[in-house]
């Protein structure tokens, strides 16, 4: 019996897609660079780009959430999938991107930044969260 062929054709589910893990690594790397930039220069982001609401919190706060939530998602997605970690990490990321999107769109930031946050990143993380809390996903 060709075990490899069988393993390849076996449906691994939504959370088994490798692209999701790659995405977490990329976001962790962005979070790390954002953190270093925020601590060393103190000018990691501005109200003109992200909006006044985002500036109510320190840049380290956003960078920390980005790193921690993506790290949780990445570890949760490693085999075997740990659904609770994916659910918590994805929920944090979803909330963060919605907050950043609101800030950029409604409190004086760049609208295109807000659109990326609310129409690209937040729905991806919401889908991950949803799939993680579904028992049969």
Partner 1 sequence: MTPSELIAAFGPVGGVFIYLWINRAQPKAEKTPDPLKQIETRLDHIVTSQADIKTDLAILLDRRGK
# chain residues binding partner 1, by CB under 8 A: 20
**Counting contacts by CB under 8 A, is residue 64 touching partner 1?**
yes
123 half-sphere exposure, CB direction, 13 A CA radius: 6
| Spatial separation of the C-alpha atoms in residues 78 and 92, rounded to whole Å | 19
- Contact window for partner 1 (CB under 8 A) among 62-70, 93-101, 102-110, 118-126: 62-70
Q: Is residue 115 within 8 Å of 103, Cβ to Cβ?
A: no
* Contact between 72 and 89 (Cβ < 8 Å): yes
Rounded Cα gap, residues 19 and 22, in angstroms: 5
Candidate list 43, 80, 135, 136; residue touching partner 1; CB under 8 A: 80
State the binding string over 7-46 for partner 1 (x if CB under 8 A, else -).
Answer: x--x-----------------x---x--xx--xx------
Which stretch in 77-85, 87-95, 104-112, 116-124 sits in contact with partner 1 by CB under 8 A?
Answer: 77-85
């Amino acid at each position: 019996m060709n075990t490899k062929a069988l393993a390849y054709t076996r449906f691994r589910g939504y959370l088994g897609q490798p692209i999701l893990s790659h995405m977490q690594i990329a976001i962790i790397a962005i979070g790390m660079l954002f953190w270093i930039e925020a601590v060393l220069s103190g000018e990691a982001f501005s109200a003109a780009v992200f909006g006044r609401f985002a500036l109510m919190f320190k840049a380290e706060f956003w960078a920390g959430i980005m790193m921690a939530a993506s790290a949780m998602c990445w570890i949760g997605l490693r085999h075997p999938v740990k659904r609770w970690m994916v659910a918590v990490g994805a929920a944090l990321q979803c909330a963060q991107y919605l907050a950043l999107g609101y800030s950029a769109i409604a409190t004086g930031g760049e609208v295109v930044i807000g659109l990326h946050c609310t129409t690209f990143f937040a729905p991806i993380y919401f889908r991950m969260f949803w799939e993680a809390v579904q028992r049969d996903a």
